[in-house]
Amino acid sequence: MAAAVMDTGLLSGYLGISEPTLQETIDTPTSDLVKAVLAAATARAREHHDLEADKHQVDTELETAVLNSETRSKELKEAAERASKEAKELRVKLVKEGMLI
């Protein structure tokens, strides 16, 4: 089986561990080095989980805001149509009564 290619620079930056420490963990792992890498990975996983939860909440809030604005827009459009219809009916009534030319 082919050995996995590791970008220690990328991993170092992502996990917040110096590249020499990460390389030493790969080459000659000790219990302390492995624990340090796993602790960094755990912290990063928690951060990722928290960001996913925040993203989900923001997405939900955005969807709610969009739905509420669409509902409000529809209500305002219906109110404008009713007002226009009422104005037209009043205009016709005034013309019939001879009060408006």
pLDDT tens digits, 56-69: 999 999 999 999 99
Taking the model in full, what pTM does it have? 0.64
Label residue 6 by pLDDT band (50, 70, 90).
confident
Label each residue of the chain as H, E or C. CCCCCCCHHHHHHHHCCCHHHHHHHHHCCCHHHHHHHHHHHHHHHHHHHHHHHHHHHHHHHHHHHHHHHHHHHHHHHHHHHHHHHHHHHHHHHHHHCCCCC
- With cut-offs at 50, 70 and 90, classify the pLDDT of residue 1: very low
Residue 51 pLDDT: 98
